[in-house]
Amino acid sequence: MNLYEALRMAANGLLANRTRSALTMLGILIGVTAVILLVAVGNGASVQINNQVQSLGANVIYVYPANARGSGGVSQGFGTAQSLTQADVDALNTRQQDPDVVAAIPIAQSGGQITYGNQNYFAPTTGTTPAFPQVRNYQVAEGSFFTDDDVTARHRVVVLGQTVVDNLFAGTDPIGQTIKISRQSFRVIGVFAQKGGSGLGSQDNVVVAPITAVWAYLTGARGKVISQIVASASSAGTVTQAETEITTILLNRHQISDPTQADFQLQSQQDILNQATSIATALTLVLGAIAGISLVVGGIGIMNIMLVTVTERTREIGIRKAIGARRRDILVQFLIEAMVLSGLGGALGIAMEAPKIPAIASSSFPTPVVSPTSVVLAFCVSVAIGLFFGIYPANRAARLHPIEALRYE
């Protein structure tokens, strides 16, 4: 029996009970639709998270102080030691044999009420050096960033993120205006271009000033504390080498021979990206699994209908056996029928998928990303489901005894 004949028989069998076939297909159709759609949404979320993390700079490496240990070795928490100094930053910037580190900047964080006229707003103030835009991947949209001279002279100048501008300056040009941070006056010399992105802490909610000015006027008694060093590798691919180089330089400078005793810790954007990616992958998997359940339910529907079909057509099976059909012939006939049912349902599900994507894209969901592999996979899986759930009914048909099947009313 060739494939053409088998397909013809399957079509005949399915057309005999149109409504029933259509409803059974609907089960698979919904399953396939759900799989493709939910996986697309999961992928979309994954891409969005990725983009957001990338916008922070994919080649960025953070150096934090290690957890300080109190008496008895009790950890006082992440980054509580004060082991990073400006000298460390300088060492990283004047390195000889670390071609993979492009620039390193110190960061001193300070919180504080920001006021302008009668407006007030809260944003963290970051003290740093002129390499900040390069390392953290910011563009200055208006005005300019501060210079080395500003740092040396402890000039009280700031560059603002878009969110801060929106909250303090309703329509007026912020450049040249003076704002107050913790009652200290600072002059606005530049505004960053919008970076976008939400969740994960907006990157537009920033106030950046020379680190010396922050130390002198804002951190007060705490002195010249560097809460972290941010370094950038030459590219995303060299992050690992750059991390090794930074570790070597800092261990040398801090005179620590055992790397496990280091008084600092590194985290690359890649690490954050990996974490985010693994979360997004888990999300996609969970969504896919939920959708997969509906596919399995559809498969059980097929098995159910195929069992009914086999019972209904017992006599036909008897006739076919009497005129010479072997077990295999009957098995193949019903298997193909089940596979056509599920494959067609899968194909229709894919066809009905296309118009839905833009509708979802326009809603507040992350833009769904349909991967061609998931479409091909969904189709193959739907056919495989027909095969899997068709085996039991088809086998039952193939095993029928011809005489009993012929007598069946």
Partner 1 sequence: MITLEGVTKTYRMGRIEVPALQGIDLYIGRGDFVAIMGASGSGKSTLMNIIGCLDVPTSGRYILDDTDVARLADDQLARIRNKKIGFVFQSYNLIPRTTALHNVEMPLIYAGEGGRSARAREALVSVGLADRVNHQPTELSGGQQQRAAIARALVTNPAILLADEPTGNLDTNSSVEIMRLLTRLNAEQSRTIVLITHEQDIARFASRVVELRDGRIVRDERSAA
- Interface contacts to partner 1, rule CB under 8 A: 1, 5, 12, 15-16, 315-316, 318-329, 402-403, 406
Phi first, then psi: give them for residue 187, nearest 5 degrees. Answer: -100, 135
Supply the minimum distance, in Å, between the C-beta of residue 327 and partner 1: 6
The answer to whether 227 and 83 have CB atoms below 8 angstroms apart is: no
The burial of 206, by beta-carbon neighbours within 10 Å (0-12 exposed, 13-18 middle, 19 or more buried), is given as: buried
What does the chain come to in residues?
Answer: 409
Q: Nearest-CA neighbor of 333 among 102, 10, 51?
A: 10
Q: From CA 349, how far away is CA 370, in angstroms rounded?
A: 14
Cβ closer to partner 1: 18 or 183? Answer: 18
Cβ closer to partner 1: 321 or 396? Answer: 321
Angle at 278 between CA 275 and CA 283, to 5 degrees: 130
Token digits of residue 119: 């407006």
Supply the minimum distance, in Å, between the C-beta of residue 402 and partner 1: 5
Cβ closer to partner 1: 137 or 314? Answer: 314
Cβ closer to partner 1: 44 or 318? Answer: 318
Rounded to the nearest angstrom, the gap between the alpha carbon of residue 122 and the centroid of all alpha carbons in its chain is: 30
Supply the minimum distance, in Å, between the C-beta of residue 24 and partner 1: 18
Cβ closer to partner 1: 222 or 401? Answer: 401
Supply the minimum distance, in Å, between the C-beta of residue 311 and partner 1: 15
What Rg value do the Cα atoms of the chain yield, rounded? 33
Q: From CA 60, how far away is CA 144, in angstroms rounded?
A: 23
Rounded to the nearest angstrom, the gap between the alpha carbon of residue 38 and the centroid of all alpha carbons in its chain is: 14
Supply the minimum distance, in Å, between the C-beta of residue 401 and partner 1: 9
Cβ closer to partner 1: 214 or 405? Answer: 405
Residue 214 CA: distances (Å) to CA of 82, 86, 190, 225: 17, 14, 17, 10
Supply the minimum distance, in Å, between the C-beta of residue 396 and partner 1: 15
Cβ closer to partner 1: 155 or 321? Answer: 321
Cβ closer to partner 1: 165 or 317? Answer: 317
Q: Which residues pair with 114 in a beta bridge?
A: 121, 181
Angle at 225 between CA 220 and CA 231, to 5 degrees: 140
Supply the minimum distance, in Å, between the C-beta of residue 343 and partner 1: 22
What one-letter code names the amino acid at 20?
R
> Quick one: DSSP state of residue 287?
H
How would you classify the pairing of strands 157-160 and 184-192? Answer: parallel
Q: How far apart are the first and last CA of the chain?
A: 27
Cβ closer to partner 1: 211 or 335? Answer: 335
The burial of 352, by beta-carbon neighbours within 10 Å (0-12 exposed, 13-18 middle, 19 or more buried), is given as: middle
Supply the minimum distance, in Å, between the C-beta of residue 409 and partner 1: 10
Supply the minimum distance, in Å, between the C-beta of residue 344 and partner 1: 19
Supply the minimum distance, in Å, between the C-beta of residue 394 and partner 1: 16
Q: Which residue has the tokens 């900047």?
A: 105
Supply the minimum distance, in Å, between the C-beta of residue 321 and partner 1: 6
Cβ closer to partner 1: 222 or 328? Answer: 328
Cβ closer to partner 1: 13 or 57? Answer: 13
Spell out the residues 6+ positions from residue 165 whose beta carbon is closer than 8 angstroms to its own.
174, 191
- Please give the sequence-ordered ranges of beta strands (E in DSSP) within 149-273, or none if there are none: 157-160, 178-181, 184-192, 207-210, 228-233, 264-268
